[in-house]
Each structure stands twice: as C-alpha cells, then as structure tokens.
C-alpha cells in the first residue's frame, strides 16, 4: 500500500523484515516442538535464534535465482545460522510456513484495526451525546420526511460499527488457524503434536483438516468483514458529502488554515476526506471479491491465490486501518450548523407533520384513505403556493370539522417526534443520562 493511505504501525507490520521474522517464528517453534519430541537436538532452536541475521535484500537476491521465496529464506538463514539450520523445515512444506505466518500477521493487523475502530466509535459516541437533542430533518429518498436529531443520526453509525466489530472478532477467530501438516496435509513426515505445539505457541488453532493449505473460506470471511466495516464508513462519508452541499450546509469537514479547495476557484471547500473514504471503500469490496474467488483452488492446492494475497493482505488491512483513523478525525472535527438544520425544518411550510394529522383524523373516526386525501391535498397546495401548511389545514372544513383547533396545533409539536430519544440512546449506549462522555 502506498504511504499516502497507510499508518506507520501497519506499514511496519507488513514490511518484508516483519514477514520474514514471522516465517522464522514458525520454523523455530516447529524446531522447538521437535526438540521436545526428541527428534532434534536440544538447544537447536535457541542456537539458531542467537546466530541468525535476517537480511531481506539477500533473501530477494537468492530468490532471483531460486524463483522460490521460502527456499531463498531458508538459504539465507543457513548462511548466517550455520550448520544447525539443517534441522529447520523437517517434514514441512512451504504452505506450512506461509499460511501459519500469514494467519499470525492477519490477526495482528486485525487487532490494530479493532483498536482504531474503538476510537472511531468513541468519537461518534461523544458527538452523538453532544447533539442528542439537536433537531435535524430526517430524509427518505433525499426528501424531507420527519424530524429526528443529529445525535440519533450519529448513533446509527456507532451502532452499525458495533456490529462490524462483532464481525471482525468472529473473523479473527476464524482466521487464527495454522497448519504444520506437510505436503498434502497428511502428517506423513511431521507429527500432529508438532502442529499442536506450534499453533499453541503462536496463539493459533490447528486447521481441522488441511490439505496443503489452510482453506480459503476463512480468508474470504476475513476480507468480507473488513469490507463491511469499510462500507459503514462509506455510508457516513456519503452523509457528510450531502450535509456539506452548498444547498444543504448542515455540517462540513474541517477546513484548516492554509488549506486550498480548488486550483481554479478560491472559494471552494470540498468534502475531500469523505470522498476519499468513499473511494477506498470500493477498493475494500474489490479485495473481498478476490478473496471469495481464492476459495476454489485445484485439488489440495494451487498458487492462484498467492499473488492475490500478497496484495490484499497488506492492502486491505492497511486501508481499513487508515479509513478508521481518517473517520475518527472527521467525526471529532466535523463542523455542525444547528441553525441551518432548524431553517431547513421550516423550509417546507410544516408539511413534515402531516402523518400526525393523518393519525388524528383516523382516531377521530375518518376512514384512513379519506383522511390521507384531505391531508395530502393541503400539503400539495402548500408546496404549490408556498403557503403555511398549518394555516391551510385549519381552514379546511373537512379537517376542522373532525379535529378541534387545539388538536391541530398539537400535531405541529416538534417535541412529540423527539420524546423517545432517551429510550433509543439507552438501547444504543446503555445509559439515559444527558451527558457528554469523553472519548476515552
């Protein structure tokens, strides 16, 4: 992944040196297990660890000749670790090392992602409480529907990311699987106890029945879980892009000192962070698709998945980690304009309260479809003439015959729509106090 869309800790995790270190951990833990079983001289693994000096450049140089990365790695280990290195890789196949170490790295990457996700949710929670009772126009099909609060809107993303977190943790359990079972998974030249010990040392579970590989449905689930979290972040980004439109202006990205919005138009303040998140989410979905296509390999294995995973493993995890950090920044510094929200609520002359009038008429004995026609005709007239909806309703003899003026007046009460906000917050956040909790 290019550094533009990466954080240092994730770049370090997927650097060649870290990858080779993970390979070495698998090999040395297998060696230790064989020592415990009396198959390798005691102290061999510790001796190799003390002498080996991994050199990514040298490994690549060797690979240019061998055309095989694991053999190049083992060759370079032998060059620096000496004669004892002959005890490495006994009975193992390349996928034992590659798949097991890949699982270790995917787990570590996911742990960084979950930590970042928790920061994003904390930011959303803080802003949701801040705007718990800030009225905003709820929209369906992009049109004014009924009132809600900006805090409730933010709470939907907090809650959705909670489900995303659960999916990530489920995928973590599914991907934390290794195999040290040899060429086609039959343990012909390595004992099952070696696999058990290696996996235990690395925090993994042995694959139930491996072939030459860990089966790729596990990886497909993992990358789909990443993509789903990315899609939630995209949903938030799309909302920000709408709020920031010139015609809306209800909220916008921070615009810092010295920032430029356009090379041609000095007045521009563009939602570049949100648009970036939208684009990166598309990449994550593409990676998830390729992970699905990796599942159906030939027989016990082929390597059509290998080139894919060399890209999507680092890229997908790095991208989502970056997206979460960017979203956290965007949430924390989102500029909110409650006065614009209030102005928009009055923009349509009160027609947003039409449903309560409809229900009051039904309760008063009017057939629902008849009541619908009465309310709708006044709403359409309000749109056409720019007239106040409440005034039109009060003057409509069909409606006023069935509804007293006080009932009509109450139908236009904004607080009626917000009276269950505390209940919803209690469901989402587990508390009812009107507090503004910290993000910590």
Residues serving a catalytic function are: 141, 262
Q: Given the structure tokens 């609060």, which residue do they identify?
A: 149
Q: Given the structure tokens 């491996």, which residue do they identify?
A: 210
Among 115, 128, 116, CA closest to 159? 128
234 close to 283: Cβ distance less than 8 angstroms: no
Cα separations in angstroms, 275 against 241, 282, 323: 7, 11, 11
What distance in Å separates the CA atoms of residue 278 and residue 242, rounded to the nearest whole number? 13
State the DSSP H helix or E strand holding residue 251, giving kind and residue range, or none if neither: strand 251-252
By CB atoms closer than 10 A (0-12, 13-18, 19+), residue 332 is middle
Residue 102: HSE in the Cβ half-sphere, 13 Å Cα cutoff: 24
Q: Given the structure tokens 């390597």, which residue do they identify?
A: 303
CB count in 10 Å sphere of residue 379: 21
Rg (CA), the chain: 30
User: What is the pairing mode between strands 135-140 and 143-149?
Assistant: antiparallel
């Amino acid at each position: 992944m290019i550094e533009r869309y990466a954080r240092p800790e994730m770049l370090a995790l997927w650097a060649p040196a870290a990858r080779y270190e993970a390979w070495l951990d698998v090999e040395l833990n297998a060696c230790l297990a064989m020592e415990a079983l009396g198959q390798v001289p005691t102290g061999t693994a510790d001796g190799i660890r003390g002498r080996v000096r991994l050199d990514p450049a040298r490994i690549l140089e060797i690979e240019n000749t061998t055309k095989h990365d694991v053999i190049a790695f083992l060759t370079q280990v032998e060059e620096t670790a000496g004669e004892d290195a002959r005890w490495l890789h006994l009975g193992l196949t390349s996928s034992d090392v590659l798949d097991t170490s890949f699982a270790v790295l995917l787990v570590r990457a996911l742990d960084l992602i979950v930590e970042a996700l928790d920061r994003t949710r904390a930011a959303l929670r803080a802003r949701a409480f801040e705007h718990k009772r800030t009225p905003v126009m709820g929209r369906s099909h992009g049109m004014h529907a009924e009132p809600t609060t900006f805090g409730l809107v933010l709470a939907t993303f907090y809650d959705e990311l909670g489900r995303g977190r659960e999916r990530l943790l489920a995928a973590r359990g599914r991907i934390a699987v290794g195999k040290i079972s040899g060429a086609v998974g039959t343990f012909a030249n390595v004992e099952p106890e070696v696999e058990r010990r290696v996996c235990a040392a690395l925090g993994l579970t042995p694959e139930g029945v491996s072939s030459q590989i860990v089966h790729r449905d596990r990886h497909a689930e993992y990358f789909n879980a990443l993509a789903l979290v990315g899609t939630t972040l995209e949903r938030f980004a799309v909302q920000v892009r709408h709020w920031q439109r010139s015609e809306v202006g209800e909220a916008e990205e921070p615009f810092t000192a010295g920032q430029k919005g356009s090379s041609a138009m000095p007045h521009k303040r563009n939602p570049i962070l949100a648009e970036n998140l939208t684009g990166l989410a598309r990449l994550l979905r593409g990676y998830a698709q390729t992970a699905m296509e990796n599942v159906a390999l030939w027989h016990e294995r082929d390597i059509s998945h290998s080139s894919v995973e060399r890209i999507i493993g680092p890229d997908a995890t790095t991208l989502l980690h970056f997206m979460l950090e960017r979203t956290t920044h965007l949430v924390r510094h989102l500029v909110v304009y409650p006065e614009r929200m209030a102005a928009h609520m009055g923009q349509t002359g009160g027609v947003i309260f039409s449903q309560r009038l409809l229900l009051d008429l039904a309760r008063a004995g009017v057939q629902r479809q008849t009541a619908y026609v009465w309310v709708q005709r006044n709403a359409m007239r309000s749109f056409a003439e720019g007239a106040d909806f409440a005034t039109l309703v009060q003057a409509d003899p069909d409606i006023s015959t069935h509804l007293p003026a006080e009932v009509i007046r109450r139908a236009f009460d904004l607080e009626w729509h917000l009276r269950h906000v505390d209940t919803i917050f209690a469901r989402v956040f587990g508390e009812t106090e009107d507090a503004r909790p910290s993000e910590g």
